[in-house]
Every structure is written in structure tokens, then in C-alpha cells.
Structure 1
Amino acid sequence: MAAATTIYDFKPTTQAGQPLDMNELRGKVVLIVNVASKCGFTPQYDGLEALHEKYADQGLTILGFPCNQFGGQEPGSDEEIQNFCRTNYGIKFQMMKKVDVNGAAADPLWEHIKAEKPGLMGMKRIKWNYEKFLISRDGKVVDRWASVTKPESLAPAIERELAKKPANL
């Protein structure tokens, strides 16, 4: 595969085991988050779902990627994670198959977004659960936030991206 230039070059797997052709998200604003069910930041599911409820009909898609690389805080199977999210947080946004976000087995989409928007001091590594990446309507990473950033504080950035028209669809 040639070097990826946008998120549309990837096909991550949904929790149902089906590939998600990211081309289907062309023209949408996307928020990508690595999540975990047994983390101190797990209550951020409420904020993520609130963003989904508020902005989905305006063109926002949220993708939650469970990851067990940080303190073993996502030990369950994809089915257990899905049940936890629906039962405890009423999650309706798209949950993906559990992935690694760092290391040799890191999901290719995560490798791409980390390279496109490194963190502090150019660090590409994901530091902990609930790091967030905002993707523009043309598939480029426009911002990245650390775990401590609450989802509701992303609303102004999301609204700015939703107000923009897609550049090159």
C-alpha cells in the first residue's frame, strides 16, 4: 500500500467483526478515541455519548477503540466490552474491535493518526486511555487531546470543524 494520506486509506474492524471502510466517513468530522472499561477516565463515555447525541445529525462520527495496553484496563472480549458500554453508558456511537495503539502490533489507523498529529515534544506514542483525535471532513487530523481532556470541552473544536465545508471530496 502506498503511504496513507488520510483516514480514508484504512479499514479498521468493528466490534461486530466487519471492516469499516473509512471512505464511508468521507465528508464527516470524526472523533477517534482509545477507550477502556476499567479506567479512571471511563466516565468519559458519558461525555462522548453526549457529543454523539448532540452532533451526529450534523456530521460527527465517533469511533471508540478499546485498548488493553494501559494497566490492563480493558481485559474483556469485544462482546463483553459492547455489553458494558451499552448497559452502563448507553453507548450508541460506533465501537470498534479491541486494538493495540502502540508497539509492533499497533493498528495501522492508529499509526497514521499518531504520525499525523504527534503529542507533546513530537511524541507519537499514546500515553494512556482516552486520548482523542479530531479528524476534519477531508480526513486529516486537526487536533489531539490528552486523556485528562474531558469530551465536553471538545465541543468548540468540533463545532468549528462541522462549520467547515469539505475541501477535496
Structure 2
Amino acid sequence: MPVQTAMGENAIICSDQKVYEKRRLAGDQTDNLCEVYKGKVVLVVNTASKCAFTPQYDGLEKLYRDYSEKGLVVIGFPSNDFGNQEPGTEKTIQDFCRLTYGVEFPMYTKTVVKGEQADPFYKALAAASGQAPKWNFHKYLLSRDGRLVGSFSSFVKPQSDELVRAIEAAL
């Protein structure tokens, strides 16, 4: 389902002119998000290890596994912005995600996702949707051509009909 956005419906987040360089969690690899995920449907999620919503990792990994062959990628951005619920080091976060939830989808470095200090990628998502994350596990859905097509609160579970329908429509 399309979202009416502050920048207009289906605002472009990624284009050939946009460069959002991000380093992979606990690694040296740096990705230009718009280049690496060009042509993919992307679900962007701010995550935390010590949150009531943390079990959503299971559902996010299931989405990634079920739809990756059709072109979906889930990308996670650990954030300590809400209740200090992601206090660990990158290695601690990576180990927790892999060992506890079997997370294989790409995870990036700890990121500020709200306010004046927010990362430019998250500022663009918030401006386009009119919604900055209000808590951990807020989700943004981007189309294959880098347009914002949905913004989903933390309360929208990964397997919810609303989110699955939006993903399937974007695929």
C-alpha cells in the first residue's frame, strides 16, 4: 500500500545521485546502500537486543528467507536511541542476533535513527514518510526503484497481513 509522504507519494530515497555508505556490523565491508540493493525490495528496520519487540528478529529472518529469491532484502540497523536497549558492542550485537535468532540478513553498524543527530539515510526515510521511528523495530519498505512505499510502526509484526501484502505488492 502506498504511503502519502511529506515529499509526495512514493518519494525517491535511492537514486543514482544518492550515496548512503554504511559499514557492515562487526566488519570492514562498506556498502553504498543504494547501489548494493538497486533492483531489490528493501525492508529497513531499526533494531535492539533488549526490547520487548526483539523477538521480531525471528519474523524478519523468516521474511528474508521466504522472499529473498523473489528480490526482498531485509537490512537491520541496531540503535540505542530508545531506552538504551542496544548498549552492546558490534560483536556482542552480531553474536546475539546470530546465536539467538539465526539472523543472516545484512546488519549494519549501530545507527542514530531519530532527532537532529539521525543518520542521513534515516533522515531521508523520516522526511519521505513523515514518520521518524518512535521505537525499536520501525520498518520502512522501499521499492525496487528506491521509492518509499510503506512505513510501519513497531507494533506491525513481520508476518502481519499488512506488511506481507505490502511486500508482495512491491515484489
What's the TM-score bracket when you normalise by the shorter of the two chains? Answer: 0.7 to 0.9
Q: Detail structure 1 runs of 4+ shifted over 2 Å in the superposition.
A: 4-8
Q: Compute the displacement of 1:21 (Å).
A: 1.4
Q: Compute the displacement of 1:40 (Å).
A: 0.1
1:134 aligns with 2:134: no
Give the alignment's TM-score, normalised by structure 1.
Answer: 0.87
**Contact 1:30/1:61, CA 8 A, preserved across alignment:** yes
Partners of 2:39 and 2:12 in 1: CA distance: 15
1:11 aligns with 2:18: no
**Percent identity over paired residues:** 46
Aligned length: 154
Matched letter for residue 55 of structure 2: P
Give the alignment's TM-score, normalised by structure 2.
Answer: 0.86
Unpaired stretches in structure 2, ≥5 consecutive residues: 1-10
**Contact 1:12/1:109, CA 8 A, preserved across alignment:** no
Residue in 2 that maps onto 1:160: 169
**Contact 1:32/1:63, CA 8 A, preserved across alignment:** yes
Alpha carbon RMSD of aligned pairs, Å?
A: 1.4
The structure whose residues are more often helix, as a share, is 1
Secondary structure of residue in 1 paired with 2:159: helix
Residue in 2 that maps onto 1:20: 31
Residue in 1 that maps onto 2:90: 78
Q: Compute the displacement of 1:138 (Å).
A: 0.5
Q: Compute the displacement of 1:103 (Å).
A: 2.3
Equivalent of residue 145 in structure 1, options 152, 163, 167 = 152
